[in-house]
Amino acid sequence: MRVLVIEDEPDLARQIFATLKEEGYAVDVAHDGEEGHFLGDTEPYDAVVLDLGLPLMDGLTVLERWRRSEKDMPVLILTARERWNEKVAGFDAGADDYVTKPFQMEELLARLRALIRRAAGHASVQLSCGPVVLDTRSGRITVNDATLKPTAQEYKILAYLMHHQDKIVSRTELTEHVYDQDFNRDSNTIEVFIGRLRKKLGVDVIKTERGLGYRLCAPEGAKEESGEKPERKAEKNAG
Ligand code: CA
């Protein structure tokens, strides 16, 4: 999953960047509205963290312009505590959720996870594909209840596929969503990671669609068990 952070306060931007990286996201940071708008306009993001008070172009304008050009990625706005009207204006401009400054990183993370899941059509915090289960809260992946130990890149690829299961995902799409801007991208390495992941998973869930890409789907016979488990109790922070 790849996230764009637009925040002009250097310390806060650094802190959000480090936290998201730690959680396994690919992260790009912009420090003003113009650069942020450009990145969101040209790169595919799974979510955006958008501060409203920004130099060069304010956050609301950034958001309005994206929505006008039909950019529909989930956007979480950062608002100032004393300015409640910012939230109203933010939602009207097309924001999906907000966090009030100052905030705990845990809250930001929970809200982002929820936005990303919902944008991919999942209400549950646990994503299942046959015997493979991703707990989006802990980031833990299990196969037949045994914990999988993927590397950071393998995790990013598998998490993206789990969010988009049963859909064909091209190597380009994968590359764009698991690497940040500064990464030396080579879509051939995706193939290597997929190969390693298949070995680690030990179950045949990642199909190759010739000439198109990959598709994550439950193995034959496991279809009835696939789907989402209705565990929603820990979602109180994410609503
Ligand atoms: Ca600001």
CA of 33 to the centre of ligand 1 (A): 10
pLDDT in tens, 16-54: 999 999 999 999 999 999 999 999 999 999 999 999 999
pLDDT in tens, 185-212: 776 789 999 999 999 999 999 999 999 9
CA of 103 to the centre of ligand 1 (A): 14
For the chain, list the strands marked E by DSSP: 2-6, 26-30, 47-51, 75-80, 97-101, 126-129, 132-135, 140-143, 146-147, 168-169, 206-209, 213-216
CA of 237 to the centre of ligand 1 (A): 24
Give, as residue ranges, everything with CB less than 5 Å from ion ligand 1: 8, 51, 53
CA of 49 to the centre of ligand 1 (A): 12
Residue 178: burial class (beta carbons within 10 Å; 0-12, 13-18, 19+): buried
> Over 70: is that where the pLDDT of 233 sits?
no
pLDDT in tens, 52-109: 999 999 999 999 999 999 999 999 999 987 788 899 999 999 999 999 999 999 999 9
In terms of pTM, does the model score above 0.85? yes
CA of 53 to the centre of ligand 1 (A): 4
pLDDT in tens, 145-170: 999 999 999 999 999 999 999 999 99
CA of 118 to the centre of ligand 1 (A): 27
> Over 80: is that where the pLDDT of 116 sits?
yes
Backbone phi and psi for residue 141, each to the nearest 5 degrees, phi listed first = -115, 130
Report d(CA 70, CA 141) in Å as an integer: 34
pLDDT value at residue 143: 97
What structural domains and CATH numbers belong to the chain? Answer: 2-119 (3.40.50.2300), 126-224 (1.10.10.10)
pLDDT value at residue 226: 44
CA of 55 to the centre of ligand 1 (A): 8
